[in-house]
Amino acid sequence: MTQYLVRRLGQGLVVLFLVSLLTFFLINLAPGGPSSLVDISTTVAERNARYALYGLDRPVHERYVAWLGGAVTGDLGTSINQGLPVSRLLMQRLGATVVLALTALVLAAGFGVLLGIVAAMNPNRWPDHVVSTVATLGMSVPNFWLGIIAIIVFAVELRWLPASGIVSIGRGADLIDRLRHLVLPASVLAFGLMPNVVRVTRSAVLETKATDYVRTARSKGLPDGKVMRKHMLRNALVPITAMIGLITTVLFSGSVVIESVFGYAGIGRLAIEAANGRDYPVILGVTMLAGTVVVVVNLVVDMLYAVIDPRIRHG
C-alpha cells in the first residue's frame, strides 16, 4: 500500500511538472507572450529596464528554472497588473471557489445518484426516460446561458435571490446572506455535472442488479431497500467514485464561466481577469493550482477505492 502510494505520488508529481513545463513555455514562447507587454516605441534603455523588471532579460529556460524553484517553495511570482504576490491573490480567492465547487459537487452527486437509481430500477419505463431526458438536457444546455436565464427568472422577475456577488454590501458575516448568493450558481453548476453521475450510477446499478448475489439476497427475502443499500449500491460505489474524481476537472472549467456570470469573486473570475489583462504570472499560477487540485483529487479517489471495496488491494 505504502509503495503504491509513493508510486502514485511520483506519477502525480511528474504530471504536475509536465503541466508547468507546458504552460510556462506556451506562454513564454508565444508571439503575444510577455515580451509583447513592453512598448516598442520607448527608448532602448527604458525597454531594457522593463525587460529586467519582468525578468525577461534572461533566456527562457533560466526563467523557467527560477520560476520552478520559487513555485516549489510556494512563491509563484508577482502579478503584473496588481503588483501583489500571485500566491496571495490565489489564497484570497480560493475559499470562495472551494465553497461553490463543493456545494455543486454535493448537489450533483446527491441528485445524480438518486436519479441514476430511479432510472436503473425502472429500465426503459417512463421514470428512466424522464431521467435520461433531464440528463441529456444538462449535458446540452450551455451552463452560462442557464445562469443568465436563472438570473432573469429568480433575480430580475421574481426577486427571490440576488443576481450576483458573494455577499450583499455591508453584510460580511451573514451566513444566510452568503447561502442566498450561493443557491443559483451552485445549482446551475450542479445541473451541468449531474448527467455524468446519473449515467454511471444507472449502468453500475443495472450491472449489479443482474448478479447472482443480488438474486440470492432477494430470494432470502431481504427487503428491497436493504438489498439496494447493502448489496447493490455498495458495489456500484467504485465507478461512481471514479466519476466524481473525473468531474472535478469539469467542475473547475465550469466554475470559470459560472463565476463570471454571477460576478462571484473566486479563482475562475481571477483567471478571466488575468486573461483579459494579460497577467501572465497569474494565469500560470491559476493553471498550476487547478492542475494540483485535479492531481490530488485523483490520488484521493484512488485511495478511496481500497476503502470502499476491500477486494481492491493496491500492491
Partner 1 sequence: MAEVLVRTASAPLPRRSRFLGRVLRQPLGLVAFTVLVLLVLLVVFGPAFLSHSPTRTNPLQTLQPPSAEHWLGTDELGRDVFARIVHGGRVSLSVGLFSMLVGLFIGVAVGGSAGYFGGRTENVLMRVVDTFMAIPTFFLILVIVTSFGNHPVTIVFTVGLGFWAQMARSVHAEFKRFKTAEFVEASRALGSHHLRLMVRHILPQVMPQAIVLATLGVGWSILTEAGLSYLGLGIQPPLASWGNMLQNAQAYLFRAPVLAVWPGLFIAITVLAFNVLGNALRDVLDPRG
Residues of this chain that bind partner 1 (CB under 8 A) = 11, 14-16, 18-19, 22-23, 26-27, 30-33, 136-137, 139-146, 148-149, 151-152, 156, 203, 249-250, 252-254, 256-257, 260-261, 271-272, 274-276, 278, 280, 283-284, 286-287, 290-291, 294-295, 298
Number of C-beta neighbours around residue 219 at 10 A: 8
Whole-number Å distance between alpha carbons of 69 and 207: 49
Q: Distance between CA atoms of 152 and 138, rounded to whole angstroms?
A: 19
Nearer to partner 1, 211 or 216 (CB): 211
First to last CA, the chain: 6
The contacts of residue 27 (CB under 8 Å, 6+ apart) are: 33, 34, 280, 283, 284
Q: Which is nearer to partner 1, 111 or 252 (CB)?
A: 252
**C-alpha span between 115 and 99 (Å, rounded):** 24
**Shortest CB 45 distance to partner 1, Å:** 27
Q: How far is the CB of 214 from partner 1 (least distance, A)?
A: 18
Query: For partner 1, which is the closer residue by CB, 145 or 160?
Result: 145
265 and 149 Cβ atoms separated by less than 8 Å: no
C-alpha cell of residue 42: 520607448
Which one, 162 or 254, has the nearer CB to partner 1? Answer: 254
Task: Check residue 149 and report its DSSP letter.
Answer: H
Kindly state the smallest distance separating residue 175's Cβ from partner 1, in Å: 28
Which residue lies nearer to partner 1 by CB, 155 or 222? Answer: 155
Cell numbers that stand for 202 in this block? 444507472
**Minimum CB distance to partner 1, residue 51 (Å):** 18
In this structure, the number of other CB atoms found within 10 A of the CB of residue 289 comes to 22
Q: How far is the CB of 167 from partner 1 (least distance, A)?
A: 21
Overall residue count recorded for the chain in this entry: 315
Comparison of 166 and 295: residue with beta carbon closer to partner 1: 295
| 202 or 217: CB nearest partner 1 | 202
Residue 169 has a CB neighbour count (10 Å cut-off) of: 6
State the number of CA atoms in the 13 A half-sphere of 106 facing the CB.
Answer: 7
Shortest Cβ 198–partner 1 spacing (Å): 13
Minimum distance of partner 1 from residue 220's CB (angstroms):
28
